Amino acid sequence: DTGVSQNPRHKITKRGQNVTFRCDPISEHNRLYWYRQTLGQGPEFLTYFQNEAQLEKSRLLSDRFSAERPKGSFSTLEIQRTEQGDSAMYLCATPGGQANEKLFFGSGTQLSVL
Amino acid sequence: GESVGLHLPTLSVQEGDNSIINCAYSNSASDYFIWYKQESGKGPQFIIDIRSNMDKRQGQRVTVLLNKTVKHLSLQIAATQPGDSAVYFCAEKETGGFKTIFGAGTRLFVKA
């Protein structure tokens, strides 16, 4: 149990549709991260939150992507007008360890855009 | 630019042998390094970490070596077991920074 729950686990959608993923940390964390992982690659940073505030966004996060963390607990990641290139695993993580530098990931949401 | 890479995309070892997975990094400002293990259908899982003021750190059956001179990181797994079959990622971070940067990964196959 990593302490991070993500749903759905799998999402298949048609190109042009909107999708939303949810991340629920089991315990409270100030910081929450979103990463994207394509097949055979390492996770790529997308964005992170400090409480409700979204403090950094990667250039990978186009205008079609929006993330929120309304109460500083769970977070959502929405992709509008999905494209085939959006197909990937979307991972959510919270920090932990002595200096809060380790990342604890959820199992991710696997998105397939047809 | 910043990058963390791996020399070999796949590694196949016999059960019981030792495994060595290598990684090169390029950001001289990184001072914290982590190895993650990712099994199929799961998110990456922390294995072991090391700070730049150390050259070696040992865990249970795993050892991480850091060579700052050549910006090289390695993960050694002793007595490799079938359960060690997974993709291994090295990652780097600057203390106080917010972003962890991952390499491309090495897939480890353990032959029974």
Point out the least confidently predicted range of A99-103, B21-25, B63-67, B107-111. Answer: A99-103
A3: left (phi over 0), alpha (psi -120 to 50) or beta: left
| Rounded Cα distance, A42 and A8, in Å | 21
pLDDT of B28 strictly over 90: no
Burial of A111 (0-12, 13-18, 19+ CB in 10 A): buried
Return the pLDDT at B97: 84
Structure tokens at A80: 């509008």
Contacts of A109 in chain B (CB under 8 A): none
| Rounded Cα distance, B46 and A37, in Å | 16
pLDDT of B26 strictly over 50: yes
Contact A103 B46 (CB under 8 A): yes
More confident residue, A98 or A37: A37
A–B: how many Cβ contacts below 8 A? 59
Return the pLDDT at A27: 80
pLDDT 10s digits, A39-95? 889 999 999 999 999 998 998 889 999 999 998 899 999 999 999 999 999 999 999
Minimum-distance CB partner of A91 among B9, B43, B99: B43
Point out the least confidently predicted range of A42-51, B83-92, B97-106. Answer: B97-106
Sign of dihedral through CA atoms B49, A27, A57, A86? positive
pLDDT band at residue A98 using 50, 70 and 90 as cut-offs: confident
> Given CB atoms, is B37 within the 8 Å cutoff of chain A?
no
Mean pLDDT of B82-108: 92
* pLDDT over 70 percentage in chain A: 98
Within A8-70, strands assigned E span 10-13, 19-25, 31-37, 44-50, 53-57, 65-68
> In which element (H, E) is residue A101 found?
none
Return the pLDDT at B7: 47
Minimum-distance CB partner of B43 among A2, A41, A102: A2
Mean pLDDT of B70-93: 96
| Rounded Cα distance, A85 and A111, in Å | 10
